[in-house]
Structure 1
Amino acid sequence: MGANDAAGSASRRYQILLVSLLCLNFGILFFDRNALNFLMPFIQPELGLSYTEVGLLGSALSLTWALAAIFVGWLSDKTGKRKILILVSTLIFSVCSVVSGLATGFLMLLGARLLMGLSEGGVMPISHAMVAHEVEPKHRGMAMGVTQNLGSSILGSSVAPLVLVPIALAYGWRNAFFIAAIPGLISALLIWLFVIERKLPPRPVSAPGSKPPLLEVASERNVIVCALLAILLVAYLVVTWAFMPLVLVQLRGYSESDAAWLMAVLGIASAVCGFLVPALSDRLGRRPVMVGFTLSGVILPLGALLFDGAFVAMAVIFFAGWAFNGIFPMFMATVPAESVDPARAATAMGIVMGVGEVLGGVLAPTIAGSLSDAYGLQAVCWLLVALALGGTLVALALRETAPGVLARRSALSPA
């Protein structure tokens, strides 16, 4: 199969291979991104970081991640060089993990996080654009769910704490960062060997007097709604990553090992729901699934703050509360891609991811850190509840885009 093959002509075998490789790569990316959060109980006392500084580290990565998501998504649509952009990004974020392990203070760690965000931000919009181009529309929701959530959940949320925390306990947190850099180099090699660089479909010609392409994409109703969802739910996500280990260890009194297992449960939940929830939306529709699962996000912070029962029961609460993570590939990728011209899919996804990271990922950790310094770590949990409720209200404004649901509606409509 050559590089010039038309979109949609990929064999089923290559579709599976592509999704698998992109899923693995994003999982490794999240392994590196989340390493700082899981190692923070070791890093914070050694480097003397305040809660506000912990929040700023999360904000810094989110800021540059957002800028990269918007710019690299646009650049990939314009140049068509999606494979090389992912390769370069993967190599750079692996190097950033090593730099994090060498950090001797807040500023050096901050610099490493800024560079890591720049390298990682463009990976997902490009990956989703490649999936949207290659995978059959009827399987698009599930394929995008696997690409974004399966690897990132298993490697970034479940494997990461179970591997990195024991390494930190035995050999120190710096060595944990060094080891975290190795998988990215392997992933870059696999992408170079097996991913095909496709020619993009012709870009649509704008009619005289029409809006500029970027403004046209940004003014699409579903892109706006998904961007608002991204602000609220990316805020929820990064605050949970940055502060939940501290909530469990410092507020609720769990050991570092038990906290690592509870955080690993989040990865299991995300891995399971990352393809089940989008697959459910292929059948039931994007809008009802996104509304219902966003609301379920209140379960995790309320359980973490108020539940005093058995450890196993707390793990069940964490699993149920994190099921909402299954909608992330839907509002970040599937719905934006289904709402605009295919040649502008990466641009739409970059806008949603970029806005979410800037206004949600950048501001929320700093706000959470300041609230924690002022009112205690319990403030983090109430902030998460408010974000989940706000996201539920926003999701009600979505316009349905699931191809199967729209086809059924069309068949039932009078001629």
Structure 2
Amino acid sequence: MATHPAHIHAGGEAQGNWVTNSPAYQTLLVLLLSLNFGIVFFDRQALNALMPFVQPDLQLSQTQIGLLAGGLSFSWAIAAFFVGRLSDSIGKRKILLVIATIAFSLCSFLSGLATSFLFLFAARLLMGAAEGGVMPISHAMVASEVNPERRGLAQGVAQNLGSNLLGSFAAPVVLVAFATAFSWREAFYLAALPGLLSAGLIWLMLREPEPAAEISAQVGTAGDHHSAIGFLEALKVRNMWVSVVVGVLLVAHFVITWAFMPNFLVQTRGMDAFSMSWLVGSLGIAAAIYSFVVAGISDKIGRKPVMVFLPFLSLIGPLGVIYLDPASFTGDGLLGLSGYATVLIPIFFIGWMVNGVFPIFMATIPSESFRPIHHATVLGLAMGSCEVLGGVLGPPLAGLLNDAYGPETFLYVLMVLAVISGFVAMGLKETAPAALRRRGETANPA
């Protein structure tokens, strides 16, 4: 591959390949990565959406539901840690992304074959291991290939647009309808197909990004940049550990919501499966919109304000489920949904704006706080830590509390997690280029 000149700011730091990439290629890159991550989440969310069908068939307890979500998060996190570092080490991002995409697609097929909790648990562990490396590699590609003035928006779209349109919206709506017409097993088989197409598109249409080490060598700083950064060293940087702590709390919030909300609405609130699928699907529409809105706002006003405010706004969702009585809403509303679902949709829509900060704490702030050669490593650290401590521990703990105190207990857990994360985010140092320019400051990546 031809060598591209690196962009260098006043401090002499190599910033990436974006100056040689056309706007059209930058857009294509972001959209394909967004599509691919959307298919990742379509497969990941499939079990949550199908849980009202799977739970009675396999006789799962609330704790087992939590373990299924936590198990996938655990293997996802391990893969995020090590595939990110592998990507930095060998400088091969595209091929690793293609391999991971094919692997997680095959694991969705395995989920449809499950005949017991242990079988399903093993299938989800394998799926998490295949999917975990996708996001850090994707964000590292965006960080080096896209103009940093649009980095927040680009990473927001790459992580949130496809994942929410396909994973959070299409998955419950399409798979619940398919499971109703056929069975939940056939729905898993259907979920396995799109990833194979996505892998082919990435292989044919994207080029391998130039390794950061080559970029550094071009500006005569290879000796300084070549050394790999360790996880403990990265965590000494303030923005890194704040992002990790906020990420742990909000990933737990996200995974707990999806692990328990669909089943709770059907089994406890008495909502029909059709209304449930569209209600939780509204979260996907909301988050897809916020992938543009929140990330774009953070590019203009800064990362910190949105990171602090939006967790508090998310309280509206659990409060709405707790205090609105389904019996008070009779008849059908929009699209033939139950009246209860129709009232909850705008509440969920507003509260789920918090989903727009996920790429900010997982990717944008870490990538703006470290040099390009370390991006996949620190992004893997951010994403892996969030999954290990939030995605792994959160759902089983919420399941245990549900079994002990009632199926609505997870709603109170969601509110506690949101409030703490909002306060912790107050410790962030601003990294958005536009916000720093207004203050007369410059970025100083570690």
TM-score class, shorter: over 0.9
Please name the residue that 2:129 is paired with. 118
| Distance in 1 between residues matched to 2:399 and 2:230, nearest whole Å | 38
Residue 302 of structure 1: how far off its partner (Å): 1.1
Q: Deviations over 1:1-59 (max 9, x none)?
A: x5533412111110000001000000001000000000010001001111111110011
Matched, 1:335 2:370: no
Please name the residue that 2:65 is paired with. 54
Contact 1:5–1:198 at 8 Å: present in 2 too?
no
- After the TM superposition, which parts of structure 1 deviate over 6 Å for at least 4 consecutive aligned residues? none
| Distance in 2 between residues matched to 1:386 and 1:185, nearest whole Å | 39
Q: Deviations over 1:66-92 (max 9, x none)?
A: 000010111111111100110010000
Please name the residue that 2:251 is paired with. 234
Please name the residue that 2:87 is paired with. 76
**Which of these residues, 16, 31, 34, is aligned with residue 20 of structure 1?**
31
Please name the residue that 2:334 is paired with. none
The residue matched to 1:322 in structure 2 has which SS?
helix
Q: Deviations over 1:220-254 (max 9, x none)?
A: 11110000011100000000010001221122221
Please name the residue that 1:372 is paired with. 402
Please name the residue that 2:176 is paired with. 165
Amino acid at match of 1:5: H
| Distance in 1 between residues matched to 2:383 and 2:83, nearest whole Å | 11
Please name the residue that 1:301 is paired with. 318
Matched, 1:244 2:261: yes
Under a length normalisation based on structure 2, what TM-score does the superposition of the two structures give? 0.89
Q: Deviations over 1:295-315 (max 9, x none)?
A: 112111111221235432210
| Distance in 1 between residues matched to 2:375 and 2:202, nearest whole Å | 21
Contact 1:218–1:348 at 8 Å: present in 2 too?
no
| Distance in 2 between residues matched to 1:108 and 1:3, nearest whole Å | 47
Coordinate RMSD, CA, aligned: 1.7
Contact 2:242–2:428 at 8 Å: present in 1 too?
yes
Amino acid at match of 2:22: S
Contact 1:206–1:213 at 8 Å: present in 2 too?
no
**What does 1:9-408 correspond to in 2, within 5 Å?**
9-202=20-213, 213-308=230-325, 310=339, 311-408=341-438
The residue matched to 1:410 in structure 2 has which SS?
coil
Greater mean deviation of Cα atoms: 277-286 or 192-201: 192-201
| Distance in 2 between residues matched to 1:404 and 1:152, nearest whole Å | 27
Contact 1:18–1:195 at 8 Å: present in 2 too?
yes
Contact 1:68–1:354 at 8 Å: present in 2 too?
yes
| Distance in 1 between residues matched to 2:211 and 2:4, nearest whole Å | 10
| Distance in 1 between residues matched to 2:196 and 2:389, nearest whole Å | 31
| Distance in 2 between residues matched to 1:3 and 1:186, nearest whole Å | 28
| Distance in 2 between residues matched to 1:189 and 1:19, nearest whole Å | 16
Amino acid at match of 2:265: L
Amino acid at match of 2:435: V
| Distance in 2 between residues matched to 1:167 and 1:54, nearest whole Å | 21
Amino acid at match of 2:342: V
The residue matched to 2:440 in structure 1 has which SS?
helix
| Distance in 1 between residues matched to 2:311 and 2:149, nearest whole Å | 24
Contact 2:231–2:381 at 8 Å: present in 1 too?
no
Residue 205 of structure 1: how far off its partner (Å): 5.7
| Distance in 1 between residues matched to 2:180 and 2:2, nearest whole Å | 48
Contact 2:229–2:377 at 8 Å: present in 1 too?
no
Amino acid at match of 1:150: L
| Distance in 2 between residues matched to 1:185 and 1:144, nearest whole Å | 23
What are structure 2's unaligned runs of at least 5 residues? 6-16, 330-338
Amino acid at match of 1:244: M
Amino acid at match of 2:251: V
| Distance in 1 between residues matched to 2:2 and 2:361, nearest whole Å | 30
